[in-house]
């Protein structure tokens, strides 16, 4: 057999595993997007009729935590899918288990963030009573939260965290852990960078209406925009501009905000009835 023929066979032999690995990564991304789509469907069904605008009551801890986890899967999995695919490419194993555990570790960090958000909300409720009711300080607090989130978009900490989210290769190499537990740890660390990048945007969602699918989609769109567009500074300044505009409108003309529900004049501590 001639040398070119042998080289062709060798190349073909190496191409098969590479194609199989590429198909596996595409399948993994499809699974993440599928889970996100199911999350959007389930969340929309659960939240129907529950949006009370800024500072909507969070309900019981168990109900909120369940909805929060599904929300984070719906909102975050599309934008983190390239990172999970990169992790899958870097592993030597063909099993999809490690990448899925990586995604689970990522979601675990956001779950912890949700617990912290609930605790903060419950503490503020017990301290302030009806102070953040819409007809008192609620409107001003919501507008101030949006403006503060816009300012955070331009801080060095945001820039560092966004850089890690947009270019995760160095972070993955610098914190590599083998095995299934290592996959969870690395996913959790990547999730921590994402929390540092997006916590102000999540605070904005509370200020606009945590039970609003419309505002949930807007915030998810902003997250995907700043993580995926090629122009990093344009992404940061563009997101800041949108948040600033929303904050100014909330403070000056909330009725002009499409999709904003004007809250009933009830204390935030009065929790809405929730589905079981």
Query: What are 112-160's pLDDT values in tens digits?
Result: 999 999 998 888 877 766 667 777 788 899 999 999 999 999 999 999 9
In the chain, where the domains are located: 3-256
By the 10 Å C-beta count (0-12 exposed, 13-18 middle, 19+ buried), 156 is classed as exposed
Query: What are 75-89's pLDDT values in tens digits?
Result: 999 888 888 888 888
Query: What are 226-237's pLDDT values in tens digits?
Result: 988 888 888 889
CA distance 73 to 41: 12
The pLDDT of 203-229, averaged and rounded, is 91
Q: Please tell me the predicted confidence (pLDDT) of residue 137.
A: 81
The pLDDT of 199-217, averaged and rounded, is 92
Q: Please tell me the predicted confidence (pLDDT) of residue 275.
A: 41
CA distance 225 to 232: 10
| Mean pLDDT computed over every residue of the chain | 82
CA distance 91 to 172: 11
């Amino acid at each position: 057999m001639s040398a070119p023929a042998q080289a062709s066979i060798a190349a073909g032999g190496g191409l098969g595993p590479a194609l199989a690995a590429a198909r596996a990564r595409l399948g993994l991304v499809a699974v993440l997007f599928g889970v996100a789509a199911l999350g959007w469907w389930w969340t929309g069904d659960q939240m129907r009729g529950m949006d009370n605008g800024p500072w909507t009551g969070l309900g019981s801890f168990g109900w909120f935590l369940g909805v929060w986890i599904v929300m984070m899967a719906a909102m975050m999995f599309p934008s983190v899918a390239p990172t999970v695919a990169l992790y899958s490419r870097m592993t030597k194993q063909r099993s999809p288990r490690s990448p899925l555990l990586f995604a689970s570790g990522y979601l675990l960090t956001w779950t912890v963030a949700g617990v912290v958000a609930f605790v903060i909300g419950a503490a503020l409720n017990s301290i302030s009573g009806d102070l953040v009711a819409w007809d008192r300080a609620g409107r001003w607090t919501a507008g101030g939260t949006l403006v503060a989130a816009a300012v955070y978009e331009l801080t060095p900490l945001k820039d560092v965290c966004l850089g890690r989210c947009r270019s995760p290769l160095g972070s993955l190499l610098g914190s590599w852990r083998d095995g299934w537990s290592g996959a969870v740890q690395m996913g959790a660390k990547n999730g921590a960078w994402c929390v540092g990048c997006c916590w102000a945007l999540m605070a904005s969602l509370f200020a606009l209406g945590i039970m609003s699918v419309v505002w949930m989609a807007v915030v998810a769109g902003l997250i995907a925009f700043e993580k995926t567009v090629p122009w990093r500074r344009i992404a940061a300044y563009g997101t800041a501009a949108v948040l600033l505009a929303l904050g100014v409108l909330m403070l000056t003309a909330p009725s002009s905000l499409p999709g904003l529900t004007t809250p009933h004049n009830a204390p935030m501590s009065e929790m809405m009835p929730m589905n079981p």
